[in-house]
A and B are shown apart, each in its own frame.
Chain A
Amino acid sequence: DAGVIQSPRHEVTEMGQEVTLRCKPISGHDYLFWYRQTMMRGLELLIYFNNNVPIDDSGMPEDRFSAKMPNASFSTLKIQPSEPRDSAVYFCASSLGLAKNIQYFGAGTRLSVL
């Protein structure tokens, strides 16, 4: 398997622009997670899905952030409008069921908002 695939790897945008981050989980995995990593706050869980349904979005910082999972093989995290404080590395991870609890991470998207 190719693992969790995220795109783009790097994104540079200007304040106020819309940003869309993409994730393809490992085939067959039924959980998908979005994280944000910064030096100040470390690794934060933003939202996670089970069988394409959002389960907990309490980590989403503001209404400017939204996430969707239209099918089992694709998810997006959108920021609109973007702000400089959104600059971070965003990771997607997937896992299979409850029993194993092992999450597999993508390589991340490094977002810079100027």
Chain B
Amino acid sequence: GDSVTQMEGPVTLSEEAFLTINCTYTATGYPSLFWYVQYPGEGLQLLLKATKADDKGSNKGFEATYRKETTSFHLEKGSVQVSDSAVYFCALSLYGNNRLAFGKGNQVVVIP
């Protein structure tokens, strides 16, 4: 079935460092791809999305490019802040299907 795989384990890095979180997907059709963020004690909220190949989603300094050839949607930010500490989830949905398939999430901890 359709699924999303995120890299294992938490990510700890210093303020102003470069952040990359890997996400790959498996889907039979042409999915839309999402990154959601969950701050401590809160629900998930949409960070960015891309709906077709080569689209780049961006928000709050974060970017991700829909790569059909590598079935990937890696999240990047050039200079992280302490306030970016959160759990990040990659997700996909197929057109005509309002369900989302989520990855397991990555805890990101930014140290001052």
Q: Residues of A at under 8 Å CB distance from B? A: 4, 31, 33, 42-43, 45, 48, 50, 56, 91, 93, 95, 97-98, 101-108
* SS class, residues of chain B in contact with chain A: loop
A104 to B95, CA, bound (A): 18
Q: A105-B44, A107-B43 are in contact. Are A48 and B104 (CB under 8 A)?
A: no
Task: Report B79-112 residues with CB < 8 Å from chain A CB.
Answer: 89, 93, 95-100, 102-105
Tell me the interface secondary structure of chain A in the complex: strand
Q: In the complex, A107→B102 CA distance in Å?
A: 17
Answer whether residue B46 sits at the interface, using C-beta atoms and an 8 A cutoff: yes
- Write out the residue numbers on chain B whose beta carbons fall within 8 Å of the beta carbon of A103: 44, 46, 100
Interface residues in chain B, defined as those with a beta carbon under 8 Å from any beta carbon in chain A: 32, 34, 41-46, 49, 89, 93, 95-100, 102-105
Could you pull out 11 A-B pairs where Cβ atoms are within 8 angstroms?
A: A43-B105, A45-B99, A48-B98, A48-B99, A56-B99, A91-B43, A95-B98, A98-B97, A103-B44, A105-B44, A106-B43
> Which of A42, A48, A50, A98 contacts B95 (CB under 8 A)?
A98
- Beyond A95-B98, A98-B97, A104-B45, list 18 extra A-B contacts (CB 8 Å): A31-B98, A42-B103, A42-B105, A43-B44, A56-B99, A93-B43, A97-B98, A101-B34, A101-B93, A101-B100, A102-B34, A103-B44, A103-B100, A105-B43, A105-B44, A107-B43, A108-B42, A108-B43
